[in-house]
Amino acid sequence: MTNQVLIQNLKNLLSETYILMLKSQNYHWNVTGSNFHALHVMFQEHYENMFQAVDELAERIRAIGAVAPGTFNQFQSLSQINSEAVQTKDREMIESLISDHKILVETAKKVVEEAQKEQDDATMDMAIERIQTHEKFIWMLQSSR
């Protein structure tokens, strides 16, 4: 594959997904408050979904002939999402996650745009699925405010 922009966007999407997966798992472990159980369960559903997506994204990067990033340092350098200390309030966790999921949606849209140029339907389908998933996660989080 010669479309370096597509490859870079896929690496960014992989990296952002990985970091947000870890953040969601961290919040799952550390959430407190009156909405504890619902958020604890939701955060787990989200990080488990992203765990599977990380593998699929990395394998797609390999399938199109590039090397997938695989270290935390690489993920941090390729991501717009910051790894941060746990928020102390459930409302702050929700707002942080909403913001991060929006970043993932925008990155996935860039993947779709470049995949269309290459007529790479498999990558396009994968990115569209990620958009749908993260838009659903945003809706779930916004409904939990």
DSSP 106: H
What domains sit in the chain, N to C, each tagged with a CATH number?
Answer: 4-68+86-143 (1.20.1260.10)
* Average pLDDT of the segment spanning 14-40: 96
pLDDT for 99 equals: 97
The pLDDT tens digits for 81-114 are: 988 777 779 999 999 999 999 999 999 999 999 9
Structure token pair of residue 38: 């619902």
Closest CA to 33 of 82, 94, 83: 94
In whole angstroms, give the CA distance from residue 57 to residue 137.
18
User: What pTM, to 2 d.p., does this model score?
Assistant: 0.96
Burial class, 1, CB count within 10 angstroms (exposed 0-12 / middle 13-18 / buried 19+): middle
Sign of CA dihedral 36, 39, 45, 46: negative
